[in-house]
Amino acid sequence: MDNLVNLLYAAVLAGTPLLFGTLGEILTEKSGNLNLGVEGMMFMGAISGLAGVYFAEMWFGEMTGIICMLIAILASFLCGAFGALIYGFLTITLRANQNVTGLTLTIFGIGFANFFGEIIASASPSKFMTISTGAKAAFANSPLIPGLAALAGEHRWIYWINKLLFSYNLLVYLGIAVALVMAWFLNKTRAGLNLRAVGEDPAAADAAGIPVNRYKYLATVIGGGICGVGGMYISMVTAYGVWVHGCVGGRGWIAVALVIFATWSPSRAIFGALVFGGLSILRMYVPLGIPIEIYDLLPYLATILVLIVTSVRQSKDHNIPKHCGFNYFREER
C-alpha cells in the first residue's frame, strides 16, 4: 500500500505542470485558436518566474516565501501571456496560419528562455542562476495540517490520507483550483458560454452581437499566462529553484496531447494530468525490465486509445470545438 501511495503522490507532483499547460490550451482552444506553442510559453514562464525572484532578491534582499511565490506567479503569467499575445496578434489580427505560428512560438520561447537563462547565469558569481534557500522553501512540499501529520504514527491510514491530500506545495492546490474555476466558468457563466459559442461558430456568435475577437484575445492571452505558470512550476519545484537548460523537456507537447485525453474538459484535465504524471514517473516505481523508451511512449499510447474511444462515441461535448484551428474573417461570413 505504501508503494501505491508513493506512486500517486509522485504522480500528482509530476502532473501539476501538465495540468497548467493543459488548462491554458483548453481555454485557448475553446475560443477557436489552436496554439501549438505551449512548450514555448512554458519555457518563457520557467525563465521569467525564476528570474523574477532572482532579481527581486538581488535588489531588495531576501523576502518572505509568500512574496517570492507571488512574484514568480505574476512574472511567469505575464511572460506566458506575452508569448500568447504575439500568437494572438499574428493569427487573430493578421490571420496567419495557426499551426505555423504556434510552432514558431515554440521555437521562439525555447530560444528566449535558454538565451536569457545562460546570460543571467554567466553574469552570476557562481556561474549559475539560483534563488535563496528561503525562497526555495516557499515552493517545497509541506503539510497543510501539521497536527494531522503528528497522528500518522498512530494510524497508518491517517498517514496515507495526509500524504495524498495535504502534503503538497501550494502550486498543486492552485492548479486544482484553476481547473475547477475554469470548469464552472465555461459551463455556468454567460461569458463562458459566449466563449464556447465563439469556438464553435464565430459567424453565428458575431451575428448575435458577441465581440468575437475580444473573446479570442482574452482567452488566448489568459491561456498563455496559465501555461507560463506551469513552466514556472518546473523551474521552481522540479528543478529546485535552479535554472536548468532545456528544463521543460517536452512537457508542453504532452500537455497538448493531454487536452485530447481530457476531451477539452478542465475537470477531466485533473484526472488526465494525474494519469500522465503517473505514466511519466512509472519507471521509478514499477520496474518491469523494459527499455526506458517504452515507458516514454505510454502517455501517447493512452492518448491514441482516448482518440479511438472519443471517435466511436461521437459525443458533441467531447469533440474539439468546430472552428478550432481556423481563422475568422468577419467579411467572409
Provide the number of structural domains found in the chain.
Answer: 1
Chain-wide mean pLDDT for the chain? 90
Domain limits at 166?
A: 2-332
What are 23-45's pLDDT values in tens digits? 999 999 999 999 999 999 999 99
Looking at residue 304, its pLDDT comes to: 78
* 272 half-sphere exposure, CB direction, 13 A CA radius: 31
Q: Which three cell numbers stand for residue 35?
A: 496554439
pLDDT tier for residue 224 given thresholds of 50, 70 and 90 = very high
Ranking 126-130, 255-259, 307-311 by mean pLDDT, the lowest is 307-311
Looking at residue 299, its pLDDT comes to: 76
Looking at residue 247, its pLDDT comes to: 93
| CB-CB neighbours of 245 under 10 Å | 9
| CB-CB neighbours of 147 under 10 Å | 8
d(CA 191, CA 197): 10
Looking at residue 20, its pLDDT comes to: 98
pLDDT tier for residue 332 given thresholds of 50, 70 and 90 = low
Angle at 136 between CA 119 and CA 70, to 5 degrees: 85
Looking at residue 102, its pLDDT comes to: 97
Asked if 266 and 53 touch (Cβ cutoff 8 Å), the reply is: no
Q: Which long-range contacts (CB under 8 A, 24 or more apart) does 138-143 make?
A: 138/64, 138/65, 138/66, 138/68, 138/69, 138/170, 139/69, 139/72, 139/169, 139/170, 139/171, 139/236, 139/237, 139/241, 140/169, 141/13, 141/167, 141/168, 141/169, 142/167, 142/169, 143/167
d(CA 23, CA 174): 12
Q: What's this model's pTM, rounded to 2 decimal places? A: 0.94
| CATH number of the structural domain spanning residue 274 | 1.10.3470
What are 58-104's pLDDT values in tens digits? 998 888 889 999 999 999 999 999 999 999 999 999 999 999 999 99
Looking at residue 109, its pLDDT comes to: 97
What are 120-151's pLDDT values in tens digits? 988 888 778 899 998 999 999 887 777 666 66
Beta bridge partners of 242: 130
9 exposure class (CB count in 10 Å sphere: 0-12, 13-18, 19+)? middle
